Structure 1
Amino acid sequence: MTVLDNRALNRAMLGRQLLLDRADLPVEDAVAHLCGLQAQEPQEPFVGLWSRLTAFDPKTLSDLLTRRRVVRTHLMRRTVHLVTADDVLAWRARHEAMLRQRVLGVYRDELKGVNLDELASEARELMADGKPRTAAEIVRELAPGRPGPGPRALGEMVVAALVPMAQAPPRGLWRAKGGVRNVALSSWLGRPVDPPAPDGSDPVGQALVRRYLAAHGPAATADLRAWSGLAGLPGAVAAVRDELVAFRDERGRELLDLPGAPRPDPDTPAPVRFLPAFDNAILGYQDRSRIIDDAHRGLSVAGERVVLVDGRAAATWNITDGTVTVDPLRTFSRTDRAAVADQGRELASFLSGGESDRVRVAASPR
């Protein structure tokens, strides 16, 4: 079986994630291809798409949100993701059990004795009017007569698990500030969530396997599980296995992939890219060694924004008062420092609407 080293896996990941060459794709198509973008920080998806698309206009993404073509919702790993309307309707039921279990994992003691099916029914009835509500407003309506769970536990269970919700704009719009107001997904999109297959088969799980590999492969089943948060995908993998090709990584893990998917030459040049917090390219894997050194693994869960140099996390970045500040994780060559500075200036201009192109690259590693 062919062994793919980390550099080969890195280039495959960069290609699938649209980070080798910026893609000339419509924004909605890019969101679909990427299987969504993690979005609990509302402005981060704009950076993620700017780094991936040619001539990305942030107003286009805002327009897709207001036209309800893409939505912000709890989905993979119980985190807020920006996904297409079609995908959330197709995928939401497949994630429901995981969403419940993840909320219970945090609030099990508080929710002990609560009839979750009854709570879900009352919450769906409350939200059926299509009115956006904050979690606090939802809790005030549902808490009377239900002693026990605290407001945070009750709100999390309803909003993140029991009722498919979208976060209504202005939350998530370009340069807009707005708290989270939840609206029933079916009301917001005018269509119900797709039900599970009546025959017990798992076409949604099988589609998720294919879609994940198209955006992240080659990958191990542990990577798929880490990305989705779903434990019950072995059956879906088994069902599509004959369609797939297999490799091994340097650790001996089996990696699966779509047969016709691009696997660029490991020597393909990789340009500097600035990634947002919690980017797919990092959180899409259980084994993140294809993009981040073991010494810096903590960055992947700390919400740090990273800079890729030669395809690997080589710095962190932030922006303050229009200035992009880069803190290297290793010593840069003169060529790398210049490339980071050039891309940082472009990012500063994008984030400031052309008012600033200031960048500061620290002289030594952090």
Structure 2
Amino acid sequence: MAEILDRRALNRALLARQHLLARADLSAPEVLNRLIALQAQAAPAPYFALWTRLKTFAPQDLSARLEDLYVARGTLMRGTLHVAMAADFAAICPLIQRGLDRVLTEGSVHGRALAGLEPDEIASAARDLLRQGALTATELRDALAEHWPGRDPQALAMAARVRLPMLQLPPRGLWGRSGQPTLAAMADRLATPKPGLDLPELVRRYLAAFGPATVADAQTWLGLTRLAPVFDALRPSLAVFRGEDDAELFDLPEAERPPGDAEAPVRFLGEFDNVLLGHDDRSRIMSSEHKRRLYTVNGVVRATVLVDGVTAGRWRIEDGKASSTLHVELFDKVAKPVAKALAEEGERLLAFGAKHAGGEVRIAVAEA
């Protein structure tokens, strides 16, 4: 009979894989390789993700890698922005394509707007345009609209985004800098991916970073359906467990699974952090009540506080003209030692991410 793993055991396994039990003595590219990709819908998100996971990290460690395209930023899993090692980015794109294509099905809003058009023809036109030089998202949209006058420009742009793998080029995504998203075709900027990464191997890498996990968990993170046959083929090489709800959980036999009572230090996670988006069942790290308070109606996942390994509040840095303040809003009161640990970690967060040195940490219990 399969061993049962309770939520605390699943929580500690996730935190260990994500380097949130103890900061790792690794480089930014090494962590990216281990975690596959980091969410990047908000430009600073991957920087805070790396800061909270690494013993030493300077923003330039990632910015420099983005500038030389050793690390790529663009649309990956679930059609959302990620940063990933360039080799991984190029290899993953074709593996998740069928999940992205669902956006353009006949019954979807964009699919109905594109009735009678071939998405691949739109992607081909976009590729021709980008061969002439990088374009902002607005420029590409408007150029496609000139090709197909009378059609919904947003739907045309979505078809290009879905069917043509693209990168967002710097300075977008660089620390402390901004600018319109400037797009280039991935094939024009990155080397052709080496053979080796297939869907089963991508599932194994998912388990290494997020396991133990169910088939539904992997499907949610990858934005794919019908992964059960992949897991069945991998089953002889995987460890199989059961959750408290009797769900079947898969993992790599050699992966780290600390005991549920392993100490978990307080952590500050940036917006859209991976650990909050990596599973279908997120109860190992977040309650349904906390999800309501952390997810906004327009899909933003707020910067989050972890206490004892689970969500406990949210945070934001307010940069004034002469000083910076870290506002920590907890969902419930915490013991004095926890408050002290939050203040100390908050000071380190301000030193990393605030505009002004020597800022103030303010901790309060938020209204429900």
**2:228, 2:150 → 1: CA distance?**
37
Q: In the TM superposition, what is the alpha-carbon distance from 1:278 to its structure 2 partner?
A: 1.2
Maintained 8 Å contact 1:164/1:184? yes
Aligned to 1:361: 363
Q: 2:110 aligns with which of 107, 132, 151?
A: 107
Question: For residues 223-272 of structure 1, what are the alpha-carbon distances to aligned partners after superposition, in whole Å with 9 as ceiling and x for unaligned?
Answer: 00111101142232222111101001101100000000000111110000
Q: Which moved more, 1:205-214 or 1:100-109?
A: 100-109
For structure 2, the residue ranges without an aligned partner over 5 or more in a row are: none
Q: In the TM superposition, what is the alpha-carbon distance from 1:297 to its structure 2 partner?
A: 2.2
- State the SS of the aligned residue for 2:135: coil
Task: Return the TM-score normalized by structure 2.
Answer: 0.93
User: Residues 80 and 260 of structure 1: is their aligned pair in 2 closer, same or farther, counting only changes over 3 Å?
Assistant: same
Q: In the TM superposition, what is the alpha-carbon distance from 1:108 to its structure 2 partner?
A: 2.0
**1:54, 1:179 → 2: CA distance?**
32
For structure 1, the residue ranges without an aligned partner over 5 or more in a row are: 198-202
- Do residues 306 (structure 1) and 304 (structure 2) align? yes
Counterpart AA for 1:6: R
- Do residues 276 (structure 1) and 273 (structure 2) align? no
**2:91, 2:266 → 1: CA distance?**
35
Aligned to 2:334: 332
Aligned to 2:318: 320
- Do residues 24 (structure 1) and 18 (structure 2) align? no
- State the SS of the aligned residue for 1:144: helix
Aligned to 1:288: 282
Maintained 8 Å contact 2:103/2:111? no
- State the SS of the aligned residue for 2:314: strand
- Do residues 117 (structure 1) and 120 (structure 2) align? yes
**2:104, 2:360 → 1: CA distance?**
42
Maintained 8 Å contact 1:92/1:193? no
User: Residues 179 and 145 of structure 1: is their aligned pair in 2 closer, same or farther, counting only changes over 3 Å?
Assistant: closer
User: Residues 91 and 194 of structure 1: is their aligned pair in 2 closer, same or farther, counting only changes over 3 Å?
Assistant: farther
- State the SS of the aligned residue for 1:206: helix
Q: How many residues align?
A: 357
Question: For residues 106-147 of structure 1, what are the alpha-carbon distances to aligned partners after superposition, in whole Å with 9 as ceiling and x for unaligned?
Answer: 412211121112212222222224x21112211232222424
Maintained 8 Å contact 2:266/2:305? yes
Task: Return the TM-score normalized by structure 1.
Answer: 0.93
**1:337, 1:45 → 2: CA distance?**
26
**2:256, 2:150 → 1: CA distance?**
53
**Identity, % of aligned pairs?**
40
Q: Which moved more, 1:147-156 or 1:288-297?
A: 147-156
- State the SS of the aligned residue for 2:198: helix
Question: For residues 129-176 of structure 1, what are the alpha-carbon distances to aligned partners after superposition, in whole Å with 9 as ceiling and x for unaligned?
Answer: 4x2111221123222242443222211221x21211100000000111
Question: For residues 189-234 of structure 1, what are the alpha-carbon distances to aligned partners after superposition, in whole Å with 9 as ceiling and x for unaligned?
Answer: 2x23568x9xxxxx61101110000000000011001111011422
- State the SS of the aligned residue for 1:315: strand
Runs of 4+ residues deviating >4 angstroms = 363-366
- State the SS of the aligned residue for 1:274: strand
Q: In the TM superposition, what is the alpha-carbon distance from 1:91 to its structure 2 partner?
A: 0.9
